[in-house]
Structure 1
Amino acid sequence: MRLLFPFATLLSSVVSQIFEPADFSVTEALLNQGVNVSALPELAGLVGRSSNLACHIACSSLEVVYGNKSVEFQDEVGYSTFTSSFWSGISAEVRPYCIFKPSSPAAVSVVVLLSRLSKCPFAVKSGGHSAFAGAATIEGGITVSFENMKGIELSDDKQTVAVQPGNVWGNVLTALSTTGVTVVSGRIGDIGVGGLTLGGGISFLTNAYGLACDNVASFDVSSLRNPTTSRSSNIDQIVTASGIMVTASPTTFPDLYWALRGGGNNFGIVTSFNLTTKPLDNDQIWGGTRTFTEDKFPDVIKAWMDLTFNSAQDPKAGSWVAWLDKGVKLASTELWYGAPAGNESAILAPFYNITAVADSTKTRGHASYVIDNEATNKYGLREVYYVISVKASYEIAQRSVDIFYDSIGALSAVEGAYPVLIWQHITDGSLKGSTRNGGSAMGFDANGSPIHIIQLACSWNNAADDDTVYQVMSDIMEAIKSDAVKLGVQNDWVYMNYAAMFQDVIASYGSDSKSKMKTVASKYDPKEVFQKLQPGYFKLDRAPVPDARYFSY
């Protein structure tokens, strides 16, 4: 029995931009992708009807077509290995019907079409660093793991690098570390390329170049060769709901390109990112942590806010602050500089004028820096992120610290509770970067004031305490938002990569951006496959878990 036929990509539909005509046939599209439905007994009987055995049929068909090494079922060792790989213990508890591990963009097209045919829902995992269940895996459905798609190819002119979504940023930066170039990447080595980039992506280089999503030349390379070979073409393609693979760049399908920059998983499955490189001699940057005690907090707040407002004076510099309580209150201030010897930079001098109790700052490799930061990510705990943004303001900065420390006592009975308040900034350079190549979907005002991201993170041990933790985190966000409104510095934008499952991220981008994204989705996904059959994460019309008890934005 021959199941696989020569691959075709429905080029006529691409050229005419008719992504799903009224008479679209999933079975015909599968045939064009090399899968003969009539040769698969269970699928052949499924045509034209629904089935309660949808996921059994879809997963079994994937096993027949691609072999048992590409599909893991619940009774197999590989299945347990996969589920335990999630950072959050909440995600690790999710039990998909099967895990599918494609090795090519064509196989990704097939799984989308099989999901449509069988009505078995799916989710997609790049790095799997989301805090809540259902973001990168799905109960009872197909979880697509990109672990077999880890190609990294630097172009011959070193202007771009094609990166498949099975990579984490440590892999990418290590591969580039001897080339004289780097990319606007994540700052922790085991964060996945896919989720971070589609949700925005703050980097050690962001103040100079913008977010990671602002530095994507095009999305989805469909023709990656051997990962060790160089690549000179820019034929980039994205898997759409109809299985068609198309180029998404500033000049080809620019509406889709725009939407993918901050729009998450709502428009298609990205099978590779063609990233614009940045020069970096010997891979050397500077960074590390300076830690301060409570008596220094007023000085830390001023130094950090001054840096936020004055970043344009030296955009190589940046910082985040983690406010925490380890029996004593501490401000753990991460400082970085996009070149060696950042401690000699005038813009970072105020932090060195404050006495620290610990200091790990030094010149180091970009790759080794992000890999070293993996130590901050403990796996297997229950986790939540929550986020708000405000217009940068000294007053709201101080209030957020006060509210945090005044509130976390409500977690004292929660076993293992470890709450942290984290500050990050979207500076002048970040905002200007967001205008590159037609702008992004996030609705930034490039001429606006700097944005202060105020994030909460908390880990804890037991599911019985989930509601308590969620409520305390929600109450803190609500209180900070209330004060921001009173001070006239409110800002609705929610950063997707730090949002809680209760937050309606797309709505926070503004009505114009949301309306445009919905128009783009209706063009490329008229049957709402990525809204209904891929139900997890932040959808166009809802939070992942709408719940009026908790703060949204």
Structure 2
Amino acid sequence: MPSPRLFSLIGLLLPSLISADTCSEISLNTNIEVANPLAVTYTTEQIDYWSASCSALKPSCILFPKSAAEVSTILQVLNTNTEKFAIKSGGHSPNNYFSSVDGGPLISTQRLDHLNLSQSTGVANLGPGNRLDEIATKLQGTGWTFVGGRIGNTGSGGLMLGGGLSYMSAQYGWSASSVLEYELVLPNGTIIYPSPTVHSDIFVALKGGGNNFGVVTNYQLQLYNQGLVYGGNLVFLRNAEVDRRLLKAVRDFTEYNTDDKAAVIVTAERAQVNLVDTWILFLFYDGPSPPANTFKNFTSIPGLITKTDRTRTYADLMTFSNWVVLKGFQVMIGTETIPIPSSALSDEVLWEGIHAHWRNISSSTLAVPGIVASIAYQPFPKRIAAQAKAKGTDLIDADPDADKLIIELNYAFLNPGDYSMMEGKMESTYGGIRDRVLGWQAEGKLQSNVYLPVFMNYGFYKQDYFGRLKAGSRQLASDVAGRVDPDGVFSGRTGGWKP
């Protein structure tokens, strides 16, 4: 028979054992919605990631807070234990553990899906549980638009914490540039409201600082007037001449386009054993139709297979864009930022250099089951940086000193067993681009002394995001993180880049 002393010891230990399990503590002592592994809501939320590798990580439970107060309660419980955890908005980061967790609680912001608009001012309060297509649908008919990303299924929370590149960035800067105030639950559960005048250093750190400072439960945003838009895709069958001309066209567009309502993404895509080898051009114009010749350098290129560009609502464009999300695939995303070459050196740098390098590496992956490899060339003209600076300081602190391209690299494949090998392919792809850019700068072929940060929303987890920011931005992020999270609740127990 157990001794009275044993019962006494169990009685002393029991509270700490219970509090060490966030899922049990929240379930037993609060009204916060908790989904355990056998619940349907657990399954539906867990499979809703862009990468199957994130879905394969199994949280101990999924918590669905409906307010900042409920998020505060969850974080206060987490402060009593040492569990790993994660916060998920849309789950579009394919980096394992960035918004996914294995064996600890997952905080889903899905129930924080409010959108409250002042019709007269265009100021909106937006919850991180909204995806971009949902935002566009809710705003349909109001005459206002959100400076969001380009794929409707993207979660708004992760987008804005990484900065957010938009079709409308040349007009309005990053997605985060339009934030007026945050509602932020700090790691200790305190709720604050950073703005340009209150907690201003935290306000800056949240614009490009990722998930290091707490949980944002509301974004107060300035929206902008918008009616019908023009957009869709042009698909070209590739050959060497199409490669060369499209790369030259995106270079020229980045430098010479003066209509900030116009935007393009130029993407090359290959699939297993060359069953697909195409270019997919994303066109956008913030108006019902672009002026004549706006996209002429692209549309005049031969080899067009099909086109879907037309006048439509922004909500329709966001919903249409979801064809790019490949459910059930392991996904990796990486990136590089490069200064554009001169017109005379376009072929050498973009076609013979970067694109040939990508084709060489991607060719070595074409036997991987289900492989889809892509590279996207996205204009980053000086005007985006200038617009972002005009709206206030952010952690990215891009300089309007040179026209640049943000290159997005994607590998998607079916077999989880290929993950380690494909990591090496991704590192070789972005690493080779970086090495070439540094070499061309040393030779004087590309502008040197240009600040080239890693764009967070496209970064591979092994890339040095904070190390590529300016020293002042790195220090600000580190100082803020140290002050708001002195016990390392977020820095030591969540994934993501750490300052």
Length-normalised TM-score, structure 1: 0.82
**For residues 150 and 77 of structure 1, what CA distance do their matches in structure 2 show?**
20
Partner deviation per Cα, 1:504-525 (whole Å, 9 max, x = no partner): 2111112221011111222222
Q: Which one of the candidate residues 280, 300, 305 is aligned to 1:353?
A: 300
Residue 247 (str. 1) matches residue 193 (str. 2): yes
Instruction: State the 1:338 CA deviation.
Output: 0.9
Residues 114 and 366 (structure 1), Cα distance of their counterparts in 2 relative to 1, 3 Å cut: same
Q: Deviations over 1:62-118 (max 9, x none)?
A: 112334x71112233332222112221000001111111111100101111110112
Q: Call closer, same or farther: CA 1:333–1:80 in 2, change over 3 Å.
A: same
Name the counterpart of 1:207.
170
2:220 is aligned with what amino acid?
N
Amino acid at match of 2:454: V
Alignment of 1:435-450 (within 5 A): 435-445=389-399, 447-450=400-403
Whether contact under 8 Å (1:165, 1:193) holds in the other structure is yes
2-structure distance, mates of 1:454, 1:61: 45
Q: 1:323 aligns with which of 223, 247, 268?
A: 268
Note if contact 1:55-1:142 (Cα within 8 Å) is conserved in structure 2.
no
Please name the residue that 1:495 is paired with. Answer: 455
CA positional deviation for 1:360? 1.3
Residue 536 of structure 1 aligns to which amino acid in structure 2? G
Q: CA deviation at 1:157?
A: 2.4
Q: What letter matches 1:493 in structure 2?
A: P
2:422 to 449, 457, 469: 469
Amino acid at match of 1:482: D
Q: Which residue of 2 aligns with 1:454?
A: 407
Structure-1 residue corresponding to 2:244: 298
1:42 CA displacement: 9.6
Aligned AA (1:486): G
| Closer, same or farther: CA 145–42 of 1 in aligned 2, 3 Å | farther
Letter in 1 for 2:192: V
Whole-angstrom CA distance in 2 between matches of 1:71 and 1:516: 36
**Equivalent position to 1:425, from 379, 391, 394:** 379
CA displacement at 1:120 relative to structure 2: 2.2
Could you tell which deviates more after superposition, 149-158 or 263-272? 149-158
Aligned to 1:486: 439
For this pair of structures, how many residues does the alignment match?
Answer: 470
Q: Aligned partner of 1:318: which letter?
A: A
Q: Which string of whole-angstrom CA distances, capped at 9 and with x for unpartnered residues, describes residues 328-380 of structure 1?
A: 532211111111112x3433222222232222111111111011111221212
In 2, Cα distance between the equivalents of 1:152 and 1:111? 23
2:150 & 2:363 partners in 1: Cα distance?
A: 30
Alignment partner, residue 390 of structure 1: 338
Alpha-carbon separation, structure 2, partners of 1:426 and 1:215: 18
Q: Give the Cα–Cα distance (whole angstroms) in 1 for the partners of residues 245 and 349 of structure 2.
A: 15
Other-structure match for 2:66: 103
TM-aligned CA deviation for residue 54 of structure 1: 5.7
User: CA deviation digits over 1:128-173, x for unaligned, max 9?
Assistant: 1111221112111110011211111002523211110111011111
Among the aligned pairs, what percent are the same residue?
26
Q: Distance in 1 between matches of 2:424 and 2:260?
A: 37
2:278 match: secondary structure? strand
Q: Conserved in 1, the CA contact under 8 Å of 2:234 and 2:280?
A: yes
**Matched AA of 1:251:** T
Per-residue deviation at 1:213? 0.8
TM-superposed deviation, 1:250? 1.0
Three-state SS of the structure 2 residue aligned to 1:266 is coil
Q: In structure 1, how many angstroms separate the alpha carbons of the residues matched to 2:300 and 2:13? A: 69
Residue identity matched to 2:131: V
Distance 1:109 1:316, change over 3 A: same
Cα separation, partners in 2 of 1:492 and 1:431, compared to 1, 3 Å: closer
Q: Secondary structure of 1:161's partner?
A: strand
User: 1:131 aligns to what?
Assistant: 94
Structure 1, unpaired ranges of 5+? 1-40, 221-237, 541-553
What is the rounded CA distance, in whole Å, between the counterparts of 1:316 and 1:100 in structure 2? 40
Deviations 1:381-425 (A, max 9, x none): 111001111112224322211111122221133111111111112
Counterparts of 1:253-264 in structure 2, within 5 Å, are 253-264=199-210
Counterpart secondary structure, 1:480: helix
SS at match of 2:44: helix
Residues 119 and 142 in structure 2, CA contact (< 8 A), matched pair in contact too: no
- Structure-1 separation of matches of 2:20 and 2:86: 13
Asked whether the 8 Å contact 1:54–1:119 carries over to 2, the reply is: no
The answer to whether the 8 A contact 2:126-2:221 is kept is yes
Give the C-alpha shift of residue 124 in structure 1: 0.5
Distance 1:492 1:189 in 2: 27
26, 29, 35: which one aligns with 1:65: 29
* 1:426 counterpart letter in structure 2: F
Kindly indicate whether the alpha-carbon contact (under 8 Å) linking 2:128 and 2:217 is maintained by their aligned counterparts in 1.
yes
| Higher mean C-alpha deviation, range 270-279 or range 153-162 | 153-162
User: Is contact 1:407-1:472 (8 Å) kept?
Assistant: yes
Question: Hey, what does 1:45 align to over in structure 2?
Answer: 15
* In 1, Cα distance between equivalents of 2:431 and 2:211: 27
Structure 1 residue 376 corresponds to structure 2 residue 324: yes
Residue 80 of structure 1: aligned partner: 43
Deviation at 1:437, TM superposition (A): 4.2
Is the 8 Å Cα contact of residues 381 and 460 (structure 1) preserved in structure 2?
yes
> In the alignment, what sits opposite 2:221?
275
User: CA 1:129–1:374 in 2, change beyond 3 Å: closer, same or farther?
Assistant: same
For 1:279, the aligned partner's letter is: N
The answer (yes or no) to whether the contact 2:250–2:379 under 8 Å persists in 1 is: no
Task: Report the equivalent of 1:412.
Answer: 366
CA distance in structure 2 between the aligned counterparts of 1:472 and 1:123, rounded to whole angstroms:
27
Measured in 2, the distance between the counterparts of 1:404 and 1:264 equals: 28
1:538 aligns with 497
Deviation at 1:298, TM superposition (A): 1.8
Is contact 1:411–1:468 with CA below 8 Å preserved after alignment? no
Residues 158 and 181 of structure 1 are in contact (CA less than 8 Å); yes or no, is this contact kept in structure 2? no
Asked if 1 retains the 8 angstrom alpha-carbon contact of 2:20 and 2:80, the reply is no
The aligned amino acid for 1:241 is: P
- 1:433/1:92 Cα in 2 relative to 1: closer, same or farther (>3 Å)? same
2:5 alignment counterpart: none
